[in-house]
Amino acid sequence: MKMKEIIEMSTDELLTKRRDLRQERLHLRLQQQSGQLEQPSRLRLLRRDVARIETVLTQRAKQPAEAAAEPAAKKQK
């Protein structure tokens, strides 16, 4: 999944996608433990996709906080 695609998704979609990817990753790890995993690289891709989603979610969570802090900083001057 590309970063551009992730940024265009809504927060609710990102949360749902993150949950789905984590669940898929769990199933792949179980397959790996039993020796049935056909695409080991898929685990790495899932881990990176989850990290990208969490990065965007964190950025979105910080945006309103930063916007609220800016007017307060201007008033102090």
For the domain that residue 17 is a member of, what is the CATH number? 1.10.287
Residue with the bigger pLDDT between 21 and 75: it is 21
Q: Which domain holds residue 36?
A: 3-76
The per-residue pLDDT for range 12-56, each reduced to its tens digit, is 999 999 999 999 999 999 999 999 999 999 999 999 999 999 999
Eight-class DSSP state of 35 = T
The per-residue pLDDT for range 1-17, each reduced to its tens digit, is 899 999 999 999 999 99
Contacts of 45 (CB under 8 A, 6+ apart): none
The per-residue pLDDT for range 61-72, each reduced to its tens digit, is 998 777 666 665
Give pLDDT, residue 66.
75
Total tally of structural domains belonging to the chain: 1
Structure tokens that stand for 22 in this block: 């984590």
Name the packing angle between helices 11-34 and 41-76 (round to 10°): 150
The Cα-based distances of 58 to 9, 13, 14, 26, 40 in angstroms read: 14, 15, 11, 23, 28
